[in-house]
Amino acid sequence: MTTDNSALSGIRVIDMSRVFAAPVGAQILGDLGADVIKIERPGVGDDGRGYGTAWVKGKDGIETRQSSFFTVSNRNKRSITVNHSKPEGQEIIRALVKDADVLIENYKVGDLARFGLDYESLKAINPRLIYCSVTGYGQTGPMAAKPGYDGLFQATGGMMAVTGIADGQPGAGPLKAGPSLVDFITGHNTALSILAALQYRSRTGEGQFIDIALLDTSVAMVSHIMQDYLISGMAPPRLGNGGNGGGPADLLQCSDGIVYLTAGTDEHYRRLTVLMGQPELNDDPRFDSNFKRAREGRAELINIINAWSSMISVTDLLDMFEEVGIPAAKYNTLPEVWEDDQVKHRNLRATTPHAFAEAGSVDLIASPLAQMSASPATIRRAPPMLGEHNVEVLQDLLGYSDERMAALKDLKII
C-alpha cells in the first residue's frame, strides 16, 4: 500500500515491459508510490527473470525465478499473468487500462497494434491515458523495426568511443562500460517523461503518447564529451581512468590499495605539488595549465605522482589529501562498497521482507530518491513472483469470479 505522503499515490501504471530499461522506469514510478501492475506471460514471465548470474534463493524448494536483472528492476510491482495474444487476455488489459493512468511497453514497433493494444486503440477507451513505448531506435526511421540491446547502443551512440585506454598505451581500445548504463538511464528518462506527462495532464486533462529510444539516450549520455566534439569538430581522445575536466585526475597506486584523485583546479594542483615536496612541478612548463595536466602531459604527470603515492598507505594518503583540501576517494571493490561508512549512513543497502525467499528477505539497492523530505521514494514490496497477484488484481480489482478465473487458467490466458 502507498502512504499519504507518496508522491504518486493514486496513480496506476500498467507495466507491459520486459528485461531492463523500461522495467526500471516503471520501478521508479512504483518507488514514488504508484500502483504498478506488471503484465507477464503465463508460465514464462518477463525474459529478464532468466538474465544475470545470480538468483534469489527460494525457501522450501520454491524456485523464485528472480534473477539479478529482474530483482533490481521490479520491486514495488504486482505481477499478473496475461496472454495478450488471445481475445480474453486483451479484454483483461483493456479492463485495467480503463482506469489506469499510465501504460509502459517495450515491444517492437507496431507489435501491440496487432492485438488492439496500441495507443490509438487504448486512447479510445481512456483519453487520459499516458502511453509510453520504449524501443531501441524509436518509432520512426530506417532502423525503427530493429531490436536493440545496451551494448549495441554503447557502441553506436559514442560511449565506447570515449571509454577505454588511450591510443598508444598497452591495452588501448574502446571498452563497454560494465553496467548496462544505456538501459539504466533510458529507464530514468522513461520515468521522467511520464512524470512530465502527468503534470501536463493535470493542467489540460489530456493524455499523450511517449516515444523513448535507447539510441537517443545513448547519444545524450555522452554529454559534455559529445559537446566538445560539436563545438570543436575534434573528437576527444579516450582517457582511460583520467578525469574529463581538470587534472590531474586518475587512479593512484598506494602501498596497500588504490585511491582516485581529482586535483581539478590550479589551486588543488599547487597544494598537491607542495604536499609531494615537489613545488617546482607547479611551474613546470609540461604541466602549467589545466589542459596540459588533463590531456597533453596527463600520463607523464600521473607517473610522477604514482612514484610518490606508491610509498604511502591508502588511509594515510586520504588523510593527507583531506588535511590540505584535495578531493580524493578510496577505490572500493563491490564488497567494500557496502562497508563504506557513508554508504552505510545513507542506508543504501535496503533489506526488504520477501515471503518466498529462503532468507525471508532480499537485499536491494535503495532508491536515490529516498531522501526527499516530504515524499520520499520507498520500498514497499519485494520483486513479485510470477503471477503472484492474479487473484488480488483480477478478482479484487476487476471483480472476476472463481469460475471465470478457473476458466481463464484452463485456457492458459492467465
Q: Kindly tell me if the per-residue pLDDT of 2 is higher than 70.
A: no
Q: Are residues 127 and 63 in the same domain?
A: yes
211 falls within a domain: yes
Q: Kindly tell me if the per-residue pLDDT of 396 is higher than 70.
A: yes
User: Taking the model in full, what pTM does it have?
Assistant: 0.95
Q: What average pLDDT score do residues 19-27 get?
A: 98
Render 285-296 in DSSP notation, one character per residue.
TTSSSHHIIIII
61 falls within a domain: yes
Pairing of strands 173-174, 102-105: unpaired
191 falls within a domain: yes
Q: Are residues 386 and 294 in the same domain?
A: no
Catalytic residue among 35, 46, 101, 183: 183
Q: Are residues 215 and 260 in the same domain?
A: no
236 falls within a domain: no
241 falls within a domain: no
Final residue before a domain boundary, out of 336, 354, 387: 336
Q: Are residues 356 and 330 in the same domain?
A: no
Q: Are residues 17 and 78 in the same domain?
A: yes
Q: Are residues 142 and 105 in the same domain?
A: yes
Q: Kindly tell me if the per-residue pLDDT of 43 is higher than 70.
A: yes
278 falls within a domain: yes
Q: What average pLDDT score do residues 332-339 get?
A: 97
Q: Are residues 146 and 255 in the same domain?
A: no
259 falls within a domain: yes
Contact 137, 213 (CB under 8 A): yes
User: pLDDT tens digits, residue range 111-120?
Assistant: 999 999 999 9
| Sheet with 328-330: strands ordered across | 249-253, 258-262, 328-330
**For residues 112, 204, 126 and 393, what is the CA-based torsion angle, rounded to 10 degrees?**
90
What 3-state DSSP class applies to 133?
strand
Q: What is the pLDDT of residue 1?
A: 47
Q: Are residues 40 and 171 in the same domain?
A: yes
Q: Does the annotation mark 256 as catalytic?
A: no
Q: What is the pLDDT of residue 3?
A: 55
Q: Chain-wide mean pLDDT for the chain?
A: 95
Q: Are residues 33 and 60 in the same domain?
A: yes
User: pLDDT tens digits, residue range 137-173?
Assistant: 999 999 999 999 999 999 999 999 999 998 888 889 9
What 3-state DSSP class applies to 374?
coil
3 falls within a domain: no
Contact 227, 162 (CB under 8 A): no
Residue 409 in grid coordinates: 487458467
Cα angle 191, 196, 199; round to 5: 130
Closest to 11 (Cα-Cα) out of 174, 267, 194:
194
Looking up residue 405, the CATH number of its domain turns out to be 3.40.50.10540
Structural domain range at position 320: 249-336
- Number of compact structural domains in the chain: 2
User: pLDDT tens digits, residue range 279-315?
Assistant: 999 999 999 998 899 888 888 999 999 999 999 999 9
Contact 78, 389 (CB under 8 A): yes
Looking up residue 273, the CATH number of its domain turns out to be 3.30.1540.10
Q: What is the pLDDT of residue 296?
A: 82
User: pLDDT tens digits, residue range 8-21?
Assistant: 999 999 999 999 99
> Which letter does DSSP use for residue 367 in this model?
P
Q: Kindly tell me if the per-residue pLDDT of 228 is higher than 50.
A: yes
Q: Please report how many Cα atoms fall inside a 13 Å half-sphere around the Cα of residue 100, on the Cβ side.
A: 27
Q: Are residues 274 and 199 in the same domain?
A: no
Q: Are residues 141 and 282 in the same domain?
A: no
Final residue before a domain boundary, out of 306, 336, 366: 336
